[in-house]
């Protein structure tokens, strides 16, 4: 049985896909994927007592815009990480740099960064590190970022 939400979404679907095609820069994803993600996101917050029909398309489109912005931010962060990794790699990939050297460099860092560094060197995922150290997702990300900066600074100055 179709709910009011499903009926409204079905009516708006073609227009949403067309608008999403215009919003998306190349290489970010498919418009249909964003429309379906918006469906899932809007489904939980849809109010059953909606009376006006003129703002329903805007309701979906607003969610799609946020999804596109999130995808662009994620893409930019990934590109920055890859660019930073490319800059770091020549220093960290020297022939005489070993795992023992990495552990020695960790000893000079503050306790939390040392814990994060050891966990990363052990191959743990962010989720595992968060659980093990009792960190929030944001605290873990900030800690890893600080660790990378401190580690790069030490590697550049000691090599």
Domains observed in the chain: 4-75 (no CATH), 94-158 (1.10.10)
The one-digit pLDDT tens for each residue of the chain (159 residues) are: 457 778 888 888 888 888 888 888 887 888 888 888 888 888 777 665 555 455 667 778 888 888 888 888 888 887 777 676 555 544 444 545 566 767 777 787 888 888 888 888 788 888 888 898 898 888 888 888 888 887 777 666 655
**pLDDT in the model for residue 124:** 83
Q: Is 69 left (phi over 0), alpha (psi -120 to 50) or beta?
A: alpha
pTM above 0.95, yes or no: no
Quote the strand ranges of 60-135, DSSP E: none
Please tell me the distance from the alpha carbon of residue 81 to that of residue 75, in angstroms, as a whole number: 10
pLDDT of residue 2: 59
Report whether 110 contacts 134 (CB < 8 A).
no
Handedness of CA 140, 145, 148, 153 (dihedral sign): negative
CB 105 within 8 A of CB 154: yes
φ/ψ (deg, to 5) at 22: -70, -30
């Amino acid at each position: 049985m179709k709910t009011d939400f499903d009926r409204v979404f079905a009516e708006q679907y073609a227009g949403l896909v067309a608008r999403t095609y215009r919003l998306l820069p190349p290489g970010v994803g498919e418009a249909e994927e964003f429309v379906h993600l918006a469906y899932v996101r809007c489904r939980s917050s849809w109010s059953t007592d909606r009376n006006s029909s003129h703002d329903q398309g805007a309701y979906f489109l607003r969610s799609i815009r946020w999804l596109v912005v999130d995808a662009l931010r994620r893409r930019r962060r990934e590109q920055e990480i890859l660019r930073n990794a490319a800059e770091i790699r020549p220093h960290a990939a020297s022939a005489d740099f070993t795992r023992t050297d990495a552990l020695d460099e960790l000893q000079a860092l503050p306790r939390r960064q040392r814990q994060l560094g050891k966990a990363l060197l052990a191959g743990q995922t962010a989720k595992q590190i968060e659980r093990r150290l009792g960190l929030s997702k944001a605290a873990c990300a900030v800690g890893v970022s600080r660790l990378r900066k401190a580690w790069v600074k030490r590697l550049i100055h000691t090599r």
